[in-house]
């Protein structure tokens, strides 16, 4: 299911226009992104939780000269699905 299909499903179930459903869905997604980007965890009971994760750096080898290369860590986000899914 893509975003357009999700908007259609929300509009039908909530008995609202597709424009209103799209506005609400966009606001929800933006709010989740902002919260996780600022380091907060977002929990939606029965669905799952979004949380930021830090990836540790690791030491690698340069194939050209055989030297050591330290890759610094990065951060990303994870979705942990709820038990009902």
- Residue 73 has φ and ψ, to the nearest 5°, of -70, 170
Residue 53 near residue 75, CB atoms below 8 Å: yes
pLDDT tens-digit profile of 18-34? Answer: 999 999 999 999 999 99
Q: What is the pTM of this model?
A: 0.72
Which residue segments constitute the domains of the chain, with CATH numbers given?
A: 3-56+69-81 (4.10.520.10)
Contacts of 39 (CB under 8 A, 6+ apart): 52
pLDDT tens-digit profile of 44-65? Answer: 998 999 998 876 767 777 777 7
């Amino acid at each position: 299911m893509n975003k357009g299909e999700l908007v259609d499903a929300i509009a039908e179930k909530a008995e609202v226009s597709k424009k209103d459903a799209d506005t609400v869905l966009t606001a929800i997604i933006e709010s989740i992104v902002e919260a996780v980007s600022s380091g907060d965890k977002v929990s939606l009971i029965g669905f799952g939780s979004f949380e930021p994760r830090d990836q540790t750096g690791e030491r690698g080898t340069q194939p050209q000269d055989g030297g050591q290369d330290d890759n610094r860590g990065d951060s990303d986000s994870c979705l942990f699905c709820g038990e009902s899914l």
